[in-house]
Each structure stands twice: as structure tokens, then as C-alpha cells.
Amino acid sequence: MNSLMAFKVNITISSLDSSYKRTGLVLNSKRDVVSCVLGGKQAAITPVEDDGHLLSSAQSVELSGIQRNMNVLPRPLTSKDLSPSSDGCSNVRVAYKGAPGAFSEAAALKAYPLCETVPCEEFEAAFKAVELWVVNKAVLPIESSVGGSVHRNYDLLLRHRLHIVGEVQMVVQHCLLGLPGVRMEELKRVISHPQALAQCKINLNKLDVVKESVDDTVGAAQLVTSSNLKNTGAIACARAAEIYGLNILEERIEVPFNNVHSNEDSYFSLSRSIQNATWFANYRSIGQDDSDNNITRFLILSREPVIPRADRPFKTSIVFTLEEGPGILFKALAVFALRGINMTKIESRPQRKRPMRVVDECDSGSAKYFDYLFYIDFEASMAEPRAQNALGHLQELAPFLRVLGCYPIDTAQ
């Protein structure tokens, strides 16, 4: 309890049975509600949603290493590239999913401007890179204002032994890219990530191009360059154009054209050819349905939690389960409302190991229901008694409760 004394935790523990057991961040006592965040060493975690992909300490995976070649872009890591690192990593190394020029890399650089970014092929490779000390942090998307939640990362948060230590909110601005010398009216198709295509669908429909999905926005830019696709455009960020030698045919393609070009001066100030300007003017009356305020929220993940503070805005993320019963979710959410705690996010995910629950109905026999995990974000620090009391109260209703992280709120514009 030495690590808790500084926070003057006022949680009664005299009634706790000595048989309580802790499993990492899985909470089995009110005392664990706080100690899971503020405590020191952690035991091995056995998540509720472990479907056999956790690495054991005995596993040894071949490490190919991350060779830095100034003339060649770094190859994204895969799970097979990862094994425990032997050095202390004096510089901050941050993993992200994608290739150089991805929006996730921009989020990593916003969080750590002087960091070394490490691309990974999959979300899980980024999680494992942090766990195995290959990198210090990972920055991964969790939700966007247009595409909604990234469900894969919610599942991985429960499966892996990492802590949320921060968040980054990024305004996503898409660009329509093409090979040098190609004009916009020459494009027959546009390729990008499905969400990027969806965010720009109204403008793309007006351009009368075929829309094709690829794995990510950077992959689209790479494909156009490597295959010399003159009749194909890519939707990606401006940095991808610089990296892969493409021209920006239109900035902020997600915004309706008549919003971007509000007057002739700003319209012609864009470096476009006269032909493009004349052709493009025909489409300036496009509707207002595209997303011109697309914000993606990223989480910063680390092996160690941050120390909660009460002198600045903090957010806490938790996951829990509930028993079946009328009003049980209402009662669970009331523990925050009763203490004036603002909830900013709630997400439910069916449990994979036990997706269905059989309940005996008195009149109609048995019935089957989904068994859910509930993810919640709320605005309070675990250093505050009200947050401690709220989770202590929730523990009385929840068979399983785990704190995923307590971290500073991103207030940067």
C-alpha cells in the first residue's frame, strides 16, 4: 500500500477476505480498483477475452531487427519480427500501424515530435512490439467521428498487458493524389482505404470515378507510384504525396468542393493548371454531405501506467461485465452520475469465449442473450476519491472489472 499513501486512498478494506486473488489488472477487491492503476509490479494477466494469442514468457520469436536505411523506407513490422529487446532504448520509439506517411504516423509525431516512428503491418504487431520492448509506446486509432469505433483495438486492449497513458485527437484531411502530369479529369478510378472512400464519397461520385478499396491510404499511394497507374488517383495525406512522388490534385477532398473554393482568389491560388480549373469549376455546386470535420482519436499505449493526478484533467478507461437482470446497466451507469462524473464513451462488445447466456424464463422456458463486455471512458482521475468510490460501487455490480488506463485528456487543438 506504500504506493497508494500519497493519494490518501480512503477505501475500507477491513471486510475484505484474505482469499481475494488478483490477476494483473482484473479487479477482485475494492482495494484493487486503485492499486491496479497506482500500484507497482503487476502479476501476469489472464483476460476474460483471451482466445489463445497471448505470448508466453517462454516463447521466442525470431527478431529480424529494424534496419534504418536512409535510402529505403522502413519495412513494416510483422508479428514474426518481434522478440524481447536487449537494450534500453534511450530514444522514444513509437509503433503505429501502416507505412511511412500514414495518418497514424502523423498522430505518433503529434504525441512525440522527436520520436522515432516504427511502422507495423497489423495492430497486434504494434501491441506486441511494446510488450516485448522493441518500442516504448504505440499510437493506435480507437474511434473516428465518421467511421465510428475501431473494434479490433478494443478486443486487443483486453487481450494484451498494456496501459493507456494518453490520447491524441487528429483532424484528418485527405488529399486526392495522382502521378506527375496527370490531370484530374483523366482519372478513371480512385483507390484508398474504405473509410477514406466513404468520407469522400459525394465528391468522388461527382467526379464519376470507380472507387476501389485497398488496405490503407498509404498503400494506395504506393500502388499508384509503383505500378505507374496514370488513370488512377489515390486518397491519402499530403505527406504521402511527398514521400511517394505524387502530385496533389485536390486538397481536402473530403470537403465539398464549393466549401473549399469559396471565392475565385482562393480557388486559383491552388497550384492547378488552367484546364483543371475550368473543368473543376463545373463541380463547385456539390452538396454538403461529405465530412468536413473528420476527427480521429488515437490511444497511446505503454508497458507502465502513468501516475494519476488531480491537478489537471484526466480520463479513465475501464472494461467490465454485468450479470443479467432488469435495470442492471442503469445501475452500473448510475455510479458515475451519482458522483457528478461525466461519461464520454460507452461501447459494448460480445464476449468471444462465452458469447451467449442461457436464461430460464418462467413462462416461456429458456432464452439466449449475448454476454457483453462494456467499455467506458469517464472524465475523472483515479487520484480523486469520487472516481475511487465510483469504481468501488461498480465492483459490487460487476463480476469482472479492469482499469485500462488513467491518462491526461488531450486538450490540444
Q: Is 274 exposed, middle or buried (0-12, 13-18, 19+ CB in 10 A)?
A: exposed
DSSP strand pairing (356-361 vs 365-370): antiparallel
3-class SS letters over 2-32: HHHHCCCCCCCCCCCCCCCCCECCECCCHHH
Site of grid cell 464549393: 258
- The Cα-based distances of 24 to 12, 31, 35, 49, 374 in angstroms read 21, 13, 10, 14, 19
- Name which of 121, 57, 131, 152 is nearest 352 in CA terms: 152
Tell me if 84 sits within 8 A of 133, measured CB to CB: yes
Tell me if 210 sits within 8 A of 189, measured CB to CB: yes
- How far apart CA 267 and CA 394 sit, in angstroms, is 56
Examine the residue annotation and report whether 298 is marked as an active-site residue of this protein. yes
From the list 298, 314, 320, 336, the catalytic residue is 298
One-letter amino acid for residue 251 of the chain: E
Crossing angle of helices 385-395 and 328-337, rounded to 10°: 170
Angle at alpha carbon of residue 144, lines to 391 and 50, rounded to 5°: 50
- How far apart CA 358 and CA 360 sit, in angstroms, is 7
- How far apart CA 154 and CA 54 sit, in angstroms, is 15
From the list 117, 225, 296, 316, the catalytic residue is 296
Tell me if 217 sits within 8 A of 175, measured CB to CB: no
Site of grid cell 466549401: 259
DSSP label at residue 264:
H
Q: Which residues are catalytic?
A: 296, 298
